[in-house]
Amino acid sequence: MGIVDAAIGPDGVPGWDHEVDVVVVGLGAAGVSAALEAHRAGAEVLVLERASGGGGASAASEGIFYLGGGTTLQRDLGVEDSPDNMYAFMRAVTTTPDDGALRLFCDQAVEHFDWLEAQGVHFERALFTGKAVAVRTGAGLLTTGNEKVWPFREVATPAPRGHQAEGSEQERGGAPAMRALLATFEREGVPALYDTGVVGLVRNSDGAVVGVHARRHGTDVWVRARGGVVLATGSFNLNAEMTAASFPTFAKYGQPLGIDTNDGAGVQLGQSVGGATRGMDGVIATASIYPPAELIKGIVVNNRGERFVPEDAYHGRLAHFVERQPDHQAFLIVDEEIFAYPEKGSHKLVDGYETVAEMEEGLGVPAGALTATLDEYNRDVADGEDHAFHKYHDWLKPLHPPFVVFDISVTSSDYHYIALGGLATDVDGRVQADDGATVDGLYAVGACAAHFPLQGSEYASGMSLGPGSWWGRRAGRHAAGRSR
């Protein structure tokens, strides 16, 4: 599992090749945000990026930034939201222990959106009102989470907060978003060394991080950081040992989303100087049953024939609960009226059934179980309220034979996952030790730090890029201030 070296003292450094105020490690969305803000705060910055150019997984992403509170985009599209409303939703849906950071993120999301646009990231002024995982063209704003899902719709007024950078049919929005951020970075002349992977940290006798050890084309590079080292190395998705230890089921049956260099180096660098981790078992996995949205009008049951989740839940929330069912197994049952093949997740069609009894036998669920579930569901639909799971009334319709069943089990469909855990930090991105004390001189931002949502049930698309870039800016400014 160990892919980085143990931390060493300055005495072990043969000589500094570079001395700067702030070292930023990794040039994805979080790293470029940190570097730009540190540079603009007057710090001498050096970015070290292991790949031959910037972008990271951010450039491969859909480019959705979760923001709100009344952003310019929301206002331009007539969407009502406020920082209080956004906070009420995020507080209810996530279990982050860092309430102060969550509150500040909601308070500053409006300004952060303006900042992204000022860097050249383009968000089209169009609202998508349907249910989709992502929309590449034609809409800059869509609902990407559980805002309309019970119980959250009762806690906060639902508002679309998925701010999606404009892509094209061929390209997800993350690529143009990162091109814009990197163009600004180049224009401002922030220095960077590419093909340069950080393999170890240097700390002084007080335990403060004062530099890094990197490798470039087989040569050692030692960089002294007077103000701080900002780790922005992305997730540990591609480290098979770390994912297997953290969330064994999805790691075993699913596929990681990310790029090869998302191998957990950041988390391990932090741990090498006493950094604590948070939420390492958290994972957002996805094999969405929608689109088409009509499929949400079906029901999802486990192998005991029981429903266990409102079917209109965000796809990551649904996946979270599928994983917790016996044998990680679940089925989507639809009838003729709404039948269609799910576009995502490669869910296999099990069969069509003329009667509920045949379906129970075909799926191997206890006799009578599906009859009871469907009877109760159809009674609730007639009543206009899903008393069991509170699926929103838009998606309620009675289900009648003949039925068609899709297998959506973790063990048989293609679930793709992103780790949510990482280093524990404070509101400025300073890495924290187990006792909550900060590790002086060390910051972690983006996906190598713990997210606000700590489980897939809490996530909404955009909750990595939105908070990650916001936290990057904060850490960059804080580290720049520390060097003075």
Residues in touch with ligand FAD (CB under 6 A): 25-31, 48-51, 56-58, 60-64, 197-198, 232-235, 257-258, 261-262, 265, 418, 446-447, 461-465, 468
Least Cβ distance, residue 150 to ligand FAD (angstroms): 24
CA distance 423 to 123: 31
**Based on CB atoms, which residue is closest to ligand FAD, 51 or 433?**
51
**Based on CB atoms, which residue is closest to ligand FAD, 297 or 477?**
477
**Based on CB atoms, which residue is closest to ligand FAD, 31 or 68?**
31
Q: Enter the tokens of residue 154.
A: 């009762």
Least Cβ distance, residue 355 to ligand FAD (angstroms): 41
**Based on CB atoms, which residue is closest to ligand FAD, 31 or 160?**
31
**Based on CB atoms, which residue is closest to ligand FAD, 25 or 405?**
25
CA distance 35 to 317: 33
**Based on CB atoms, which residue is closest to ligand FAD, 70 or 234?**
234
Least Cβ distance, residue 78 to ligand FAD (angstroms): 23
**Based on CB atoms, which residue is closest to ligand FAD, 285 or 365?**
285
Least Cβ distance, residue 277 to ligand FAD (angstroms): 15
CA distance 303 to 373: 12
Least Cβ distance, residue 303 to ligand FAD (angstroms): 30
**Based on CB atoms, which residue is closest to ligand FAD, 174 or 310?**
174
**Based on CB atoms, which residue is closest to ligand FAD, 83 or 421?**
421
Least Cβ distance, residue 30 to ligand FAD (angstroms): 4
